[in-house]
Amino acid sequence: MRVRVAAALGLTAVTILALPACSTHTTEAKPASTPSTQNRKSASPSRNAAPLSSAALKERLLDVSDLGAGYARKPEQPAHHDDVTVLGCPALNGLGGDAARGGSLDFPHRAKATFAYGGGSDSEVSEELYSDSADKLSTGTGRIFEAMTGCPKYQVLVGGTAVDIATQKSDSPRLGDERWSQLMTFSAGGRDTVVKQTAVRDASTLVVVSGSPALVDQHLAQAHAKATAAR
């Protein structure tokens, strides 16, 4: 599977370019569940479930009515095609020629929504849903998270902007069949932005929630429940 990585799983080059306008402010929110050991595979009887279409995934995304007061959905941003170079992380470079370009995971069925809380650019949360065979979701997602967390510090050059990135594995709640989580600190223009990114695979569906750590913790279980509800 070819994966585009600069800020993989939803952390796009658009996010990196917007970093100088962000701050280190963190929105207060209560975690939705207790962290536990991440990336633990289970032998689910639904492992062979048929993938969902992109249209079906779109219907399973969170919306403003799910999130509550203070949230506004952001319009989709056009794709950026700035030259992106990764320095100091051979594992990311090894994921393919387009790996440093930014964008989403290259699974065939997908849907995405991004929300801002309280109007703050540093208080955002995005949800991405993907569907493919359980084995492909497991292998592809595990590979990208291992590559990113395997490099504690590296640098990304986006056009003429240098962004320092520090990564570390994070605990994730016991949801689904497999889960991965990381904290990423983006430093550019003298400012730091901390982003949490958690992915949960449930049979043939992958739920990825990224953004302000408090908002990710608050809405992950909700996103997983809606994405995997029987229809």
Average pLDDT over residues 206-211: 94
Q: Coil, strand or helix: which one is 174?
A: coil
Determine, yes or no, domain membership for 129: yes
Tell me how many domains the chain contains.
1
More confident residue, 152 or 14: 152
d(CA 208, CA 60): 13
- What percent of the chain lies above the pLDDT cut of 90? 46
Radius of gyration of the chain (CA): 16
Question: DSSP 3-state assignment of 178?
Answer: strand
DSSP secondary structure of 112-171:
EEEEEETT-TTSEEEEEEEES-HHHHHHHHHHHHHHHHT-SEEEEEETTEEEEEEEEE--
CATH number of the domain where residue 38 is located: 3.40.1000.70
Give the three-class secondary structure for 95: coil
Q: Does residue 1 lie within any of the structural domains?
A: no
- Among 42-51, 56-65, 99-108, 173-182, the minimum mean pLDDT is found in 99-108
Range of the domain at 224: 13-228
pLDDT value at 74 more than 70: yes
Whether 2 is covered by a domain: the verdict is no
- Angle subtended at Cα 61 by Cα 142 and Cα 131, rounded to the nearest 5 degrees: 40
Quick: pLDDT tens for 161-202. Answer: 899 999 999 988 899 999 999 999 999 889 999 999 999 999
Helix (H), strand (E) at residue 56: helix 54-59
pLDDT band at 125 (very low <50, low <70, confident <90, very high): very high
Q: Looking at the domain assignment, is residue 3 inside a domain?
A: no
> Is the residue at 8 inside a domain?
no
Sign, CA dihedral 47-53-56-57, equals: positive
Residue 197 lies in a domain: yes
Q: Identify whether 162 is part of a domain.
A: yes
Q: Report pLDDT for 119.
A: 65
- Let me know if residue 220 belongs to a domain: yes
Q: What is the mean pLDDT of the chain?
A: 77
Cβ proximity of 30 and 216 under 8 Å: no
Tell me, what's the pLDDT at 14? 36
As a whole number of angstroms, the distance between CA 183 and CA 58 comes to 26
* HSE, side-chain direction, 13 A CA sphere, residue 71: 18
